[in-house]
Chains A and B, each alone.
Chain A
């Protein structure tokens, strides 16, 4: 029995429908948890007003924020607003939370995309080289560094980079956002884990393919080694590499919280941490929601790509 070939649409839509449904449930759960946690975190009104504000003023502000409603009503209102992209007004910035978060988004995307590209561009050739020169000095050195990169705590890597490359060697600024030199250390820090993971996975994916019969056939036919790699190996190793690469992009969002704090990078990660300290519910909700939506969208896109490249996935 033959299944659908690559790029055929058969079976794709039920598969996607199921994925999409799960993604929507994930979003609902995430927003519910966000709502519960933020409502547990105490009353923000005293933070908004001066300590000697009259009771009437407090009641007015509570009413404006909808905090005087019963909790289930607040929850229903919250869900309805989320659907419309309305996260309320920031308590700290005094403008719509969505606008605030959008303002910080560019910095996070700049950092995230740079570190992701840096990681992919460095890691894929290294993984390939490691696999081709298996058990050589290059392989052992590269995989050793990759293991360290995977296990090292992100925030301490950042501190080490600041100490060695910014303070001692004076090559890059220690913090803040500006020209490309500001971007190097945060991007390296944030990308370290991703870089290490992609390098290790590329190596094992390529090794896996190199063991396959068709590679032996190609070699036996006398095909040049570079051509074997370029045509057969990379093409077949691409699927796992694309998948893990995409998944890693999602984990970058979590890492951004720590990296942005270490380097005082003005993105949504740092905004979220500061908003939690300010008890600025709407901004926290909006940030977390943004991050979860990005992660889920990336995953659904990956499922589409994966389902197109490898039809076996749909039926499993």
Chain B
């Protein structure tokens, strides 16, 4: 579940390497793929927002007579269940549609928290001098040394599972990647002539950050945020699977996979349908991050 973001970038990260043969065509292909990936996310957002109108049924409505029905056009209640029904006779398709709301809300909120905190600490670490830098980076190291899922489980078990807890915990789990990469970029930008020139002309640190550093690191932040979105969605599903995320009966993908586990042998669709949607989302979003990286920030390519 760790992200594939490189832990550090080379010291001369800001210098763009000479384009290799086929570089531009590769970049154009990545651009199209990135558009497609963003399109996928937009469709998902649209599905989540319009869930009440597009879901064929109420995701909470139980039909005990029609329990564990396989995918069918006409179930025991006379309705179509394109992805079957679960152990309480609820429509799996409708629950998958509603489940996207939890995934996206937690995902986007957590990315916002992690991104703001991580960017702030990364900038601070890069600008504020050695002592602050050492403290921030030591905390980052300690967090990376920690199997974070254990800490998340611990905190949620203490505070009780709720939407805000989930968002804060997942958000906190992600700040390190922003902070480390931003710090590296700030350190390399700081020694560049144009930043030194602004400094020599009397520009304040805040001005340097706002006018010169932020525009230069924005694309990096977008790339990391996309990769973090995929990771946050998977972490939310994992916690819901362990019973520590969004509580039933609110449908969430992780929770549905957990509920269907007992019926895997007789009713595979309960777990498998949300699982495949989750997997697809995770793969497409994280690939979109990679493609965006190719387009926006070729120097970040870790491999």
Are A273 and B283 in contact, with the CB atoms below 8 A?
no
Are A288 and B147 in contact, with the CB atoms below 8 A?
yes
A266 at the B interface (CB under 8 A): no
> In the complex, how many angstroms separate the beta carbon of A135 from the nearest chain B beta carbon?
11
Which B residues touch A81, using CB under 8 A?
none
> In the complex, how many angstroms separate the beta carbon of A92 from the nearest chain B beta carbon?
14
Are B282 and A258 in contact, with the CB atoms below 8 A?
no
Are A254 and B150 in contact, with the CB atoms below 8 A?
yes
> In the complex, how many angstroms separate the beta carbon of A128 from the nearest chain B beta carbon?
15
Stretch at the interface among A33-41, A57-65, A72-80, A95-103: A33-41
CB < 8 Å A-B pair total: 136
A295 at the B interface (CB under 8 A): yes
A29 at the B interface (CB under 8 A): yes
Which A residues touch B98, using CB under 8 A?
none
Cα distance A160–B2 when bound, in Å?
21
Q: A25-B138, A26-B141 are in contact. Are A162 and B150 (CB under 8 A)?
A: no
Which B residues touch A316, using CB under 8 A?
11
Are B139 and A251 in contact, with the CB atoms below 8 A?
no
Cα distance A287–B147 when bound, in Å?
10
Cα distance A25–B1 when bound, in Å?
25
Which A residues touch B234, using CB under 8 A?
153
Which of B4, B157, B279 touches A277 (beta carbons < 8 Å)? B157
A150 at the B interface (CB under 8 A): yes
A: contact size bracket: 35 or more
Q: A153-B282, A160-B275, A257-B153 are in contact. Are A197 and B4 (CB under 8 A)?
A: yes
Are B2 and A153 in contact, with the CB atoms below 8 A?
no
A172 at the B interface (CB under 8 A): no
Cα distance A150–B234 when bound, in Å?
12
Cα distance A29–B138 when bound, in Å?
9
A152 at the B interface (CB under 8 A): yes
Are A41 and B154 in contact, with the CB atoms below 8 A?
yes
A201 at the B interface (CB under 8 A): yes
- Fill in one digit per residue for A250-265: 1 if any B CB lies within 8 Å of its CB, else 0: 0101110110010000
> In the complex, how many angstroms separate the beta carbon of A315 from the nearest chain B beta carbon?
12
Are B155 and A37 in contact, with the CB atoms below 8 A?
yes
Are A254 and B264 in contact, with the CB atoms below 8 A?
no
Near B by CB (< 8 A), chain A positions 22-66 give 22-23, 25-27, 29-30, 33-34, 37-38, 40-42
A291 at the B interface (CB under 8 A): yes
Are A41 and B157 in contact, with the CB atoms below 8 A?
yes
Are A257 and B4 in contact, with the CB atoms below 8 A?
no
Q: Is the interface of A mostly helix, strand, loop or mixed?
A: helix
Cα distance A150–B283 when bound, in Å?
8
Which A residues touch B241, using CB under 8 A?
155, 258
B146 at the A interface (CB under 8 A): yes
Which A residues touch B282, using CB under 8 A?
151-153
Cα distance A42–B155 when bound, in Å?
12
Are B139 and A29 in contact, with the CB atoms below 8 A?
yes
> In the complex, how many angstroms separate the beta carbon of B86 from the nearest chain A beta carbon?
15
Stretch at the interface among B43-51, B208-216, B265-273: B265-273
Are B138 and A37 in contact, with the CB atoms below 8 A?
no
B151 at the A interface (CB under 8 A): yes
Which A residues touch B159, using CB under 8 A?
40
Near A by CB (< 8 A), chain B positions 114-158 give 138-139, 141-142, 145-151, 153-155, 157-158
Are B145 and A296 in contact, with the CB atoms below 8 A?
yes
Near A by CB (< 8 A), chain B positions 250-291 give 254, 257, 261, 264-265, 268, 271-272, 275, 278-279, 282-283, 286-287
Which of B153, B264, B279, B286 touches A273 (beta carbons < 8 Å)? B153
- Fill in one digit per residue for A98-137: 1 if any B CB lies within 8 Å of its CB, else 0: 0000000000000000000000000000000000000000
Which B residues touch A38, using CB under 8 A?
154
Which B residues touch A159, using CB under 8 A?
257, 261, 264, 271-272, 275
B104 at the A interface (CB under 8 A): no
Given contacts A41-B158, A288-B151, 5 further A-B contacts (CB under 8 A): A29-B138, A153-B234, A258-B1, A272-B150, A299-B145
Mind listing 24 A-B residue pairs with CB under 8 Å? A22-B141, A25-B141, A26-B142, A29-B138, A34-B154, A37-B154, A41-B154, A41-B157, A147-B287, A151-B282, A153-B1, A153-B275, A155-B257, A159-B264, A159-B272, A167-B264, A167-B265, A201-B303, A251-B1, A273-B153, A284-B150, A288-B146, A288-B150, A295-B147
Q: B residues within 8 Å of A by Cβ?
A: 1-2, 4, 11, 138-139, 141-142, 145-151, 153-155, 157-159, 230, 234, 237-238, 241-242, 254, 257, 261, 264-265, 268, 271-272, 275, 278-279, 282-283, 286-287, 303
